[in-house]
Amino acid sequence: MSSVFVVNAGSSSLKYQLVELGSGAALASGIVERIGEARSSARHVAGDVRTDAELHVGDHEQAFRWVLAAFGEHGPSLEDAGLVAVGHRVVQGGARFDGAVVVDDGIEAQIHDLAPLAPLHNPANLLGIRAARVAFPALPHVAVFDTAFHRTLPRAAWRYAIDRSVADEHRVRKYGFHGTSHQFVSRRVAELLERPLEDTRTIVLHLGNGASACAVDGGRSVETSMGMTPLAGLVMGTRSGDVDPGVLTHLHRVAGLGVDELDQLLNKRSGLLGLTGSGDMRDVQIAAAAGVDHAVEALEVLAHRLRSTIGAYLAVLGGAHAIAFTAGVGENVAQVRAAALDGLDELGIRLDPERNASGPSERRISTDDSRVQVWIVPTQEELEIATQAAAVVGV
């Protein structure tokens, strides 16, 4: 048996999964949350056995010590897991990384150098890498970048129409994110359609807390909705997605909002949260069903943005073979899928209401005569990270 330990480190959390390579199964998973706060919490899941803990975890290194102890106490045995690598999600790989790489001190320095482009993510990812290298000193550590899949974007898509010298000096361009998920899902779609990947055009809608769309042509990302940062594009849990950039200067001038307040506003107090008071789609659905108009409106805004994006990507691709929904909202919320695709018969997109409402987690939800097939494909970012990490170390 061989396996990869997958790490997704946030600023105050550490998510992990032990992935068996042959079967793709998650042998164990867990999360340490509120790292650095007075009361942290942790969960370790091994098979059917779930262990919860309330404790104080001061930093990511302590978090790893808890994780190793949890494996020691509750299993499975890491010694017997045939670990070949630790795979790390790194959000921002800039224009530098077009694939996964083995981490050494030089790579760490480059991830650090990219931190200004992803101040909420890369510093946290780096904390996770450093702590994991202490916890697993004998294993190769592999960085898998959210941005790497989008390195194939043509310049027409990644170049912003602002002063070239300013943009180039400050590395301002579209990078795109969620690449691991878009890559995994688009490859899976080609399998499901029984088409060669090279000849498959897919629109992937990754709708989680963060949300992004991707137009994939022949396995290559050709357009995506997030930008230089994971703030652009679709309406998200707490992030605004696209707004007129003039809104920022306006709010600075008329409301005196400073740069940190604007950052907070758009990243943490917008999206579903800003429109309804909750960033959790389940709350918004309940409120909308009860007739709360702000919640109804929020779903309208979210669906309108999705439809506009789908329409644009159909044009970018010159027509698509498939549209795939994935991540928490994409996989679970029939109402959002239906609203996003409503009335698109003329474009060859016909949803089957029953298939959309229920069925196995991976399923086709379009009618048999829909020219564009519509699918739900559960994303497996950890498996994709594990697979890429194993490939990089030659397993």
Ligand X SMILES: CC(=O)OP(=O)(O)O
CA pair distance 231, 120, nearest whole angstrom: 11
Residue least distant from ligand X (Cβ): 210
Task: Answer whether 365's CB lies under 8 Å from 192's CB.
Answer: no
146 is catalytic: yes
Task: Answer whether 125's CB lies under 8 Å from 91's CB.
Answer: yes
Q: Which of 64, 136, 175, 177 binds ligand X (CB under 6 A)?
A: 177
We find the least distance from the C-beta atom of residue 251 to ligand X, in angstroms, to be: 23
We find the least distance from the C-beta atom of residue 327 to Mg ion, in angstroms, to be: 6
CA pair distance 212, 178, nearest whole angstrom: 7
Binding mask 206-225 for ligand X (x = CB under 6 A): --xxx---------------
What residues numbered 200-239 form the site for Mg ion, per CB under 5 A? 208
Name the residue among 232, 168, 184 with its Cα closest to residue 362.
184
Decide if residue 227 touches ligand X (CB under 6 A): no
Q: Which of 230, 274, 279, 330 binds ligand X (CB under 6 A)?
A: 230
Which DSSP symbol is given to 137?
Answer: T
CA pair distance 184, 377, nearest whole angstrom: 9
Residue least distant from Mg ion (Cβ): 208
We find the least distance from the C-beta atom of residue 209 to ligand X, in angstroms, to be: 5
Catalytic residue of the set 48, 98, 104, 146: 146
- Whole-Å CA distances, 260 to 257, 266, 268: 8, 10, 11
Beta bridge partners of 324: 204, 375
Interaction partner, residue 280 (ligand X, ligand ADP, Mg ion, none; CB < 5-8 Å by kind): ligand ADP
What residues numbered 335-354 form the site for ligand X, per CB under 6 A? none
Q: Is the previous residue joined to 76 through a cis bond, with omega within 30 degrees of 0?
A: yes
Residue 126's identity, in one-letter code, is L
Q: Which of 18, 78, 91, 281 binds ligand X (CB under 6 A)?
A: 91
Query: What is the size of the binding site for ligand X (CB under 6 A)?
Result: 8
Binding mask 240-279 for ligand X (x = CB under 6 A): ----------------------------------------
CA pair distance 177, 145, nearest whole angstrom: 8
281 belongs to an annotated ligand binding site: yes
We find the least distance from the C-beta atom of residue 329 to Mg ion, in angstroms, to be: 10
CA pair distance 374, 364, nearest whole angstrom: 6
CA pair distance 342, 331, nearest whole angstrom: 17
We find the least distance from the C-beta atom of residue 177 to ligand X, in angstroms, to be: 4
Name the residue among 216, 207, 215, 343 with its Cα closest to residue 284.
207
Residue 79's identity, in one-letter code, is E
Task: Note the residues at the interface with ligand ADP (CB under 6 A).
Answer: 208-210, 237, 280-282, 327-329, 332-333
CA pair distance 146, 179, nearest whole angstrom: 5
Interaction partner, residue 146 (Mg ion, ligand X, ligand ADP, none; CB < 5-8 Å by kind): ligand X
304 belongs to an annotated ligand binding site: no
Token readout for 191 is 């399998």
Which residues are identified as catalytic? 146
Which residues are annotated binding-site positions?
8, 15, 89, 206-210, 280-282, 328-332, 381
Enumerate binding residues for ligand X (CB under 6 A).
91, 146, 177-178, 208-210, 230
Which residues are annotated binding-site positions for ATP?
15, 206-210, 280-282, 328-332
